[in-house]
C-alpha cells in the first residue's frame, strides 16, 4: 500500500526525482546544521497542511531521521479546520501508509473566520493566528520540543518586503525562534530552499496535494502582489531574489539607521578599528548565534 504514495528515489529509475531530492536534501541539511535546528532526543511536531511545502518538509525530515548521527522523533500533525469539502481521509491514509506517527486535531476555526471576516475580505491573518494558537497548544500536549513549519526562502523574502512596505520594519521569518506564546521552539528546515524546486519535487513525488479552499485564491492579497513581483524578477533578472535572500543574513548595522543595533551617538574615530568586528556579528557566518536564543513573534 505504501507504494501508492511514495516514489522510488533510485537514480536509475527516476534521475529527475533523484536530482531534485539530492538538491533539496542538501539545503535542508545545511539549514538544520547552520541553525542547530535538531538536537539529540528532540520530538519534532511537523505541521502538515497537505500542501507541497509541508509534504516536502516531512519527506526531508524522515530522510534525515534515518541518516542523522543523532536520534529524534517525528510526529506529523494536521489541523482539520472544518472547511467544507475538506478531504479528511487523504492525510491519514498517506501517513498510515508511510508508518508515520500522526495526530489530526479537529478545531472549527472555519466558522470563526467566516463569522468575523466580511465576505470578500482577506481571511489569512485571522486564520493564521487561530491556527497557530491551536498548534502551539497541541505541541505542548504532545510533549514536542520543536515545531517544524514548511516556510521556504521565497516566504522569507516576501515577508521581508511586506514588513517594509506595510509596517516600516526590516523584519522577516527567522529560521529558528521561540514562539510568541514562549512555550515552543519553531524551526523552518526549508529556509534555504526556493519555492520552485519544492513544487517540482512535490509533482515528481505525486504527493496528494490538498488546496486551501477557505480563502480561495484571494489574488488581492498583498502577499500575492509581492509574489508576482518576485516571479517577474526571476524571469527578467535571474539571481536577484537569491541575492535579496542572501542579504537577510549579511546585515551591516553601521550602515543602517537602527540606534538599538548600533551606537551612532557614541561613534568616533577611536572606534574605526572595531567597526568590522561589530558588523561581522550580523553576517551569515554567525546565523546560529543570531537566532538560537532570540524571542520573536511568528509571522
Q: Looking at residue 85, which CATH number applies to its domain?
A: 3.40.50.620
* Domain presence at residue 264: no
* Domain presence at residue 8: yes
Task: Count the domains in the chain.
Answer: 1
H or E stretch covering 80 = strand 73-80
CB atoms within 10 A of CB 267: 12
pLDDT at 283: 53
pLDDT at 2: 35
Residues in the chain: 299
| Contacts (Cβ under 8 Å, ≥6 apart) of 294 | 174, 177, 178
pLDDT at 126: 74
* Domain presence at residue 292: no
pLDDT at 120: 66
Q: Which domain holds residue 124?
A: 2-212
* Domain presence at residue 46: yes
* Domain presence at residue 294: no
* Domain presence at residue 207: yes
* Domain presence at residue 170: yes
**Predicted TM-score (pTM) of this structure:** 0.85
Give me the average pLDDT of each 10-residue run along the chain (299 residues): 43 81 96 97 96 97 94 95 85 95 88 76 74 91 97 96 93 93 94 97 95 55 89 96 95 90 85 69 45 33
* Domain presence at residue 186: yes
Amino acid at each position: 500500500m505504501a507504494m501508492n504514495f511514495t516514489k522510488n528515489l533510485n537514480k536509475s529509475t527516476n534521475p529527475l526525482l533523484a536530482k531534485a531530492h539530492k538538491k533539496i536534501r542538501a539545503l535542508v541539511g545545511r539549514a538544520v546544521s547552520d541553525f542547530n535546528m535538531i538536537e539529540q532526543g528532540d520530538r519534532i511536531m511537523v505541521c502538515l497542511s497537505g500542501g507541497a511545502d509541508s509534504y516536502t518538509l516531512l519527506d526531508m525530515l524522515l530522510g534525515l531521521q534515518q541518516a542523522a548521527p543523532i536520534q529524534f522523533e517525528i510526529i506529523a500533525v494536521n489541523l482539520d479546520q472544518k472547511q467544507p469539502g475538506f478531504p479528511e481521509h487523504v492525510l491519514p491514509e498517506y501517513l498510515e501508509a508511510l508508518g508515520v506517527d500522526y495526530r489530526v486535531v479537529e478545531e472549527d476555526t472555519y466558522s470563526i473566520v467566516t463569522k468575523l471576516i466580511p465576505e470578500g475580505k482577506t481571511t489569512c491573518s485571522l486564520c493564521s493566528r487561530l491556527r497557530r494558537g491551536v498548534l502551539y497548544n497541541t505541541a505542548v500536549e504532545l510533549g514536542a520540543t520543536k515545531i517544524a513549519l514548511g516556510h521556504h526562502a521565497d516566504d522569507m523574502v516576501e515577508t521581508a518586503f511586506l514588513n517594509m512596505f506595510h509596517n516600516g520594519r526590516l523584519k522577516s521569518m527567522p529560521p529558528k525562534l521561540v514562539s510568541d506564546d514562549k512555550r515552543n521552539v519553531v524551526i523552518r528546515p526549508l529556509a534555504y530552499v526556493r519555492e520552485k524546486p519544492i513544487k517540482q519535487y512535490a509533482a515528481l513525488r505525486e504527493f496528494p496535494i490538498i488546496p486551501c479552499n477557505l480563502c480561495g485564491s484571494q489574488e488581492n492579497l498583498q502577499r500575492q502582489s509581492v509574489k508576482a513581483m518576485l516571479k517577474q524578477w526571476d524571469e527578467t533578472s535571474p539571481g536577484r531574489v537569491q541575492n535579496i535572500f542572501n542579504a537577510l543574513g549579511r546585515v551591516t548595522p553601521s550602515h543602517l539607521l537602527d540606534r538599538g543595533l548600533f551606537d551612532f551617538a557614541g561613534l568616533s574615530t577611536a572606534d574605526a578599528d572595531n567597526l568590522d568586528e561589530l558588523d561581522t556579528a550580523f553576517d551569515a557566518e554567525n546565523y546560529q548565534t543570531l537566532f538560537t536564543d532570540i524571542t520573536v513573534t511568528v509571522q
